[in-house]
Structures are given as structure tokens and as C-alpha cells.
């Protein structure tokens, strides 16, 4: 097969946003490749699929043949190697295609646990539709579920498992839940809410074995403590960028493919977007940083497409930005929030009242915030904060007392205040 034009590795949001833009705006030929063998589906709704709220068809919100609809080709296959001199992509089955431009939108692959019993029936990750299909079956008869890993995927799964009255245990290796999103204070508030709702939380817990009976998971064994009985174990211990096929391509890879604000890698005609890309973070002086997430992948895919078409990408970079709904708690964490990186902060918190607010700022203005509280409009707050922090000039309120004022505003007034601050 011989293809010239744009080849996109990955049919997730980054790859699909790029394919849509290029097909709409130009006559360039586009080929999308996926080793899942599936065209675009909404991975971020896999928890809704597991809960039965979304059917499998609903995940394919643009249809199962989106590529054909937009006039792009689709190849189901695993990319094994990229050769920038030949401008070629080689597949695991030995076939080769050529590209004019290449977009690496290959996202991440779930990390697996290298312990005995990891292949038992009932032990699964939850990153692909294929995994979720198996998991759904297993969950149908499960009374007790252990989630290994207390990060954002666990946070998405807990509410629906709780809704089904499943007994849930979360085992987190580090000393706190959501350690890549929250600080210790905010994490304690989330933990309290989970525990009060009957979720068992084990921090500093290291899995040493999945113990089975007749090939089926029965217990999770930790380094210390009694085995935890369970019918299903969901492994959600993070992802690693899927970029191994670039190892011999001379492309700079750090924690992902390092790209500039035009999403260009260090090799000519190779671009990267989404969870596989390490793009400039304006809050860290433009240092390339991996920030995973659906919206970021869409924005980077479109910006990469503009660069490929030699247009101004208009991309202001990506920053840490997350919102979650965990039972009745809304959680928003945006910008620089880790205490080790913070210049100054104001905090108000109460574990009992399930309330945590922190604003961080430096001499030039706001740098980040963490908000956790009951019925918080987390999505709106996250968007308002993200827009604010991505402005060329971050807002400066002037004095510590003005930031302290933000701690006490009712949540909806806070959203309005943050919107007002845009352009200040
Ligand atoms: C259960 C769940 C819930 C989530 N919820 C949220 C949420 O609420 N909000 C949010 O922002 N994010 C959420 N995420 C994360 C979000 O889905 C990802 O950040 C997003 O999908 C990244 O998009 P992407 O286009 O970079 O890559 P992906 O969506 O990962 O797509 C990359 C594709 O490339 C394929 N690929 C990889 N390597 C190769 C290869 N060698 N050859 C061919 N194809 C390859 C992959 O198999 C995959 O199909 C969730 C994820 C999961 C699993």
C-alpha cells in the first residue's frame, strides 16, 4: 500500500480532531490508523457504558465509520516503526505506507501490574472499549470490586459502582488518593467523603498478588494485611505514552513526544498531539509537559492540523486542569497546585464539612486553584480558571486579602468573579 498525504496514528480525540479539520479545510488526503481497530469513540464515557447509561452505539457518537464520512481512509493495524528519512510507517504485520506529514496521536496504554495472577479472569484494566466490554460482563455478577490505583480513572468509576451497591475497595500505592491532581488537604476531604459512603480506602497499599480459584479472581493480596476478597479487580495505575514505534526515528521523546507550540516534533513533518505529546506549559515558562485529557487532546489535534496546513495554530499551550464529580463532591484542580511549586497560597478547609479551597499565586498573579466541596459546579469553575490562566497576562488581584476573599465566596458567585477577572 502506498499512501501520501497526512497519516494519523490514533483515532482518539486528538487524531480525529486533526482529521476533521484537515478534511474540512483542504483537499489533502488523510489516513487514520488504530491498533484498536475502531474508529472514533468517546473513551471518556467508558464509565457511562459500564453503568449501562450509554449503549455501545452511543459511544460512537459520530457513527462507527466516521473516517469514511469525512472522506478519510482508515487502517486497523499496529504501527511498529516510523522512518523519517523514507517518510514511512511500518506495521506489525510487515506492511508499509508512506506519508507526507505524520501526526502521532497515539495516546497512552494502561500500565499493567507485573504480579502473579494478573491474567486471572475478573482482573482487567478499563482503558479501551474491548477491556470495558469484558469488564461489564464481569461486573454484572460482582458484589465486591477492588480498584487498584486511586487516581482519576478510579474517581470516575467509583460513583457508578457505588450506585449499584457494589462493595468497593480502593488500593492506592502512594500515601494519598488523587496524588497527581490534588494536594494532601484536598485528598483528605475526598477520602472522608468516600469512607463516609462506605468505600474502603487503603493508602500506602502495595499489591503483591491476585489470588484466584478455578482461574477466577477471589482475593487481592497486599504486602501487608489480610487478603481482600473480591469478584472483580480493576487495574487503574496510570498510562504510559504509546510512542515506542518512534524509538529509532530520532524524534525527541521525554515523557511523551516533545513538541513546540505548533505541535511540531524535533523531526521534520512529524507532529504530535494529545496524551502522547509533551507540549509547552505557559505556567512553567513554556516547558514541555504532558497534560492528559479529552479537551486538551481535541484542542491539540486541531492546532496540529492547522500547523500541518501551514496556518497559525493559535494554540496557547496546555496546563494542568481537571474536574471530577465524586459522589456529591465536585472537584476542580487547575494550574500549579503542588505545594512544592507554589510561591504563595491561601487555603480554607474542613474535612468534617467536606470543604477545601486553595488559591496559589505569585508576584504576577494567580497560578492555580484546588476546590473540593459538596455540589460544587466543578466543570464551570475548571473552565473559568483554565481560561483565566491561559490568558497572556494572568490576573493580578493585588493583595493577599483579595485572594482570601475568593475563599469565602459562594460557589456560583466565585464562577462569576473568575469570569469577571478575565481581562483584568
Ligand atoms: C474510563 C476513562 C474515563 C476518562 N474520563 C475522562 C474525563 O472525564 N475527562 C478527560 O479529560 N479525560 C478522561 N479520560 C482520558 C481521555 O480519554 C484521554 O485523555 C484521551 O482519550 C486522550 O486522547 P488521545 O487522542 O491523545 O489518545 P487516545 O484516546 O488514547 O487514542 C489513541 C489511539 O491510538 C492508538 N494507538 C496507540 N499506539 C498505536 C500504535 N502503535 N499503532 C496504532 N494505533 C495506536 C490507541 O490504541 C488509541 O486507540 C478518561 C479515560 C478513561 C479510560
For residue 401, the enclosing domain spans 322-421
Distance from C-alpha of 200 to C-alpha of 8, rounded to nearest angstrom = 42
Closest ligand 1 atom to the C-alpha of 34? 44
Residue 35 included in any domain: yes
**Domain check: are 130 and 232 in the same one?**
yes
Domain of 180: which CATH number? 3.50.50.60
pLDDT for 3: 56
Smallest CA-to-CA distance from 163 within 124, 198, 135, 137 is with 198
Please enumerate, as own/partner, the contacts of 184-191 that have beta carbons within 8 Å and a separation of 24 or more.
Answer: 185/347, 185/349, 185/356, 185/358, 186/331, 186/333, 186/349, 186/356, 186/358, 186/370, 186/372, 188/351, 189/329, 189/349, 189/351, 189/354, 189/355, 189/356, 189/372, 190/155, 190/326, 190/329, 190/331, 190/372
293 lines ligand 1 (CB under 6 A): yes
Residue 1 has pLDDT above 50, yes or no: no
State pLDDT tens for residues 265-316. 999 999 999 999 999 999 888 898 889 999 999 999 999 999 999 999 888 8
Ligand 1 atom 6: the closest Cα is on which residue? 44
Domain of 354: which CATH number? 3.30.390.30
Distance from C-alpha of 271 to C-alpha of 249, rounded to nearest angstrom = 13
Ligand 1 atom 15: the closest Cα is on which residue? 293
> Which of 237, 264, 280 lies at the terminal end of a domain, its last residue?
237
- Domains in the chain, number: 3
348 lines ligand 1 (CB under 6 A): no
**Domain check: are 35 and 66 in the same one?**
yes
Distance from C-alpha of 29 to C-alpha of 100, rounded to nearest angstrom = 10
Distance from C-alpha of 265 to C-alpha of 242, rounded to nearest angstrom = 15
Residue 58 has pLDDT above 70, yes or no: yes
36 lines ligand 1 (CB under 6 A): yes
The CA 141 to ligand 1 mean position distance, Å, reads 28
Closest ligand 1 atom to the C-alpha of 13? 25
Smallest CA-to-CA distance from 124 within 94, 146, 98 is with 146
Closest ligand 1 atom to the C-alpha of 106? 34
Could you tell me the pLDDT band of residue 394, with boundaries at 50, 70 and 90? confident
Residue 114 included in any domain: no
Q: What is the mean pLDDT of residues 380-393?
A: 90
**Domain check: are 232 and 175 in the same one?**
yes
**Domain check: are 361 and 398 in the same one?**
yes
User: Bridge-partner residues for 201, per DSSP?
Assistant: 170
**Domain check: are 90 and 131 in the same one?**
no
State pLDDT tens for residues 373-385. 999 999 999 999 9
105 lines ligand 1 (CB under 6 A): yes
Ligand 1 atom 4: the closest Cα is on which residue? 44
Residue 261 included in any domain: yes
SS3 190: helix
104 lines ligand 1 (CB under 6 A): no
Residue 424 has pLDDT above 70, yes or no: no
Residue 260 included in any domain: yes
324 lines ligand 1 (CB under 6 A): no
How does DSSP assign 350-361, residue by residue? ETTTTEEEEEEE
Residue 23 included in any domain: yes
Closest ligand 1 atom to the C-alpha of 301? 25
> Which of 188, 215, 237 lies at the terminal end of a domain, its last residue?
237
**Domain check: are 214 and 245 in the same one?**
no
Ligand 1 atom 31: the closest Cα is on which residue? 12
Distance from C-alpha of 112 to C-alpha of 118, rounded to nearest angstrom = 8
State pLDDT tens for residues 234-259. 999 999 999 999 999 999 999 999 99
Ligand 1 atom 38: the closest Cα is on which residue? 106
Residue 315 included in any domain: no
Alpha helices in 251-356 (DSSP H): 294-308
**Domain check: are 218 and 259 in the same one?**
no
Could you tell me the pLDDT band of residue 391, with boundaries at 50, 70 and 90? confident
> Which of 254, 285, 308 lies at the terminal end of a domain, its last residue?
308
**What is the helix (H) or strand (E) element at residue 170, kind and residue range?**
strand 167-171
Residue 390 included in any domain: yes
**Domain check: are 233 and 249 in the same one?**
no
Cβ–Cβ under 8 Å, residues 267 and 102: no
Please choose from 8, 9, 10 the residue to mutate so as to test ligand 1's pocket, defined by most ligand atoms within 8 A of CB.
10
Could you tell me the pLDDT band of residue 396, with boundaries at 50, 70 and 90? confident
**Domain check: are 128 and 232 in the same one?**
yes
Residue 197 included in any domain: yes
Smallest CA-to-CA distance from 385 within 295, 315, 290, 320 is with 320
The CA 414 to ligand 1 mean position distance, Å, reads 32
160 lines ligand 1 (CB under 6 A): no
Distance from C-alpha of 185 to C-alpha of 218, rounded to nearest angstrom = 34
Q: What pTM was estimated for this model as a whole?
A: 0.94
Ligand 1 atom 50: the closest Cα is on which residue? 44
Distance from C-alpha of 418 to C-alpha of 31, rounded to nearest angstrom = 42
**Domain check: are 384 and 403 in the same one?**
yes
Closest ligand 1 atom to the C-alpha of 244? 41
Amino acid at each position: 500500500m502506498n499512501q501520501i498525504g497526512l497519516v494519523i496514528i490514533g483515532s482518539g480525540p486528538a487524531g480525529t480532531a486533526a482529521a476533521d479539520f484537515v478534511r474540512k479545510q483542504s483537499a489533502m488526503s488523510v489516513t487514520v490508523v488504530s491498533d484498536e481497530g475502531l474508529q472514533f469513540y468517546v473513551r471518556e464515557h467508558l464509565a457511562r457504558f459500564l453503568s449501562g447509561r450509554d449503549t455501545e452505539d452511543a459511544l460512537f457518537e459520530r457513527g462507527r465509520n466516521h473516517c469514511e464520512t469525512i472522506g478519510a481512509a482508515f487502517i486497523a493495524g499496529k504501527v511498529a516503526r516510523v522512518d523519517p528519512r523514507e517518510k514511512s510507517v511500518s506495521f506489525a504485520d510487515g506492511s508499509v505506507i508512506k506519508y507526507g506529514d505524520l501526526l502521532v496521536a497515539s495516546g497512552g496504554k494502561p500500565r499493567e501490574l507485573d504480579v502473579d495472577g494478573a491474567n486471572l479472569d475478573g482482573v482487567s484494566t478499563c482503558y479501551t472499549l474491548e477491556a470495558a466490554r469484558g469488564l461489564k460482563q464481569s461486573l454484572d455478577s460482582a458484589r465486591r470490586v477492588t480498584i487498584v490505583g486511586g487516581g482519576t480513572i478510579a474517581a470516575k468509576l467509583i460513583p457508578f459502582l457505588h450506585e449499584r451497591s457494589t462493595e468497593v475497595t480502593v488500593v492506592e500505592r502512594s500515601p494519598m488518593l488523587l496524588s497527581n491532581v490534588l494536594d494532601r488537604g484536598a485528598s483528605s476531604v475526598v477520602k472522608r467523603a468516600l469512607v463516609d459512603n462506605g468505600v474502603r480506602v487503603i493508602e500506602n497499599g502495595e499489591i503483591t498478588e491476585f489470588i484466584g480459584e478455578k482461574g477466577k479472581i477471589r482475593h487481592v493480596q497486599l504486602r501487608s494485611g489480610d487478603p481482600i476478597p473480591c469478584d472483580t479487580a480493576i487495574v487503574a495505575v496510570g498510562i504510559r505514552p504509546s510512542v515506542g514505534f518512534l524509538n529509532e526515528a530520532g524524534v525527541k521523546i521525554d515523557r511523551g513526544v516533545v513538541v513546540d507550540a505548533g505541535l511540531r516534533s524535533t523531526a521534520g513533518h512529524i507532529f504530535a498531539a494529545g496524551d502522547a505529546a509533551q507540549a509547552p506549559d505557559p505556567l512553567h515558562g513554556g516547558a514541555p509537559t504532558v497534560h492528559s485529557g479529552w479537551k486538551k487532546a481535541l484542542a491539540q489535534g486541531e492546532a496540529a492540523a492547522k500547523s500541518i496546513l501551514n496556518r497559525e495554530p493559535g494554540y496557547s499551550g496546555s496546563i494542568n486542569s481537571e474536574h471530577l464529580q465524586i459522589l456529591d463532591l465536585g472537584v476542580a484542580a487547575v494550574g500549579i497546585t503542588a505545594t512544592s511549586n507554589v510561591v504563595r497560597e491561601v487555603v480554607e478547609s474542613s474535612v468534617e464539612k467536606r470543604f477545601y479551597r486553595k488559591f496559589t499565586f505569585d508576584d504576577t498573579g494567580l497560578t492555580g486553584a484546588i476546590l473540593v466541596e459538596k455540589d460544587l459546579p466543578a466543570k464551570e469553575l475548571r473552565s473559568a480558571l483554565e481560561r483565566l490562566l491561559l490568558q497572556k497576562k494572568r490576573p493580578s488581584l493585588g493583595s493577599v486579602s483579595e485572594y482570601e476573599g475568593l475563599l469565602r465566596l459562594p460557589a456560583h458567585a466565585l464562577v462569576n468573579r473568575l469570569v469577571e477577572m478575565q481581562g483584568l
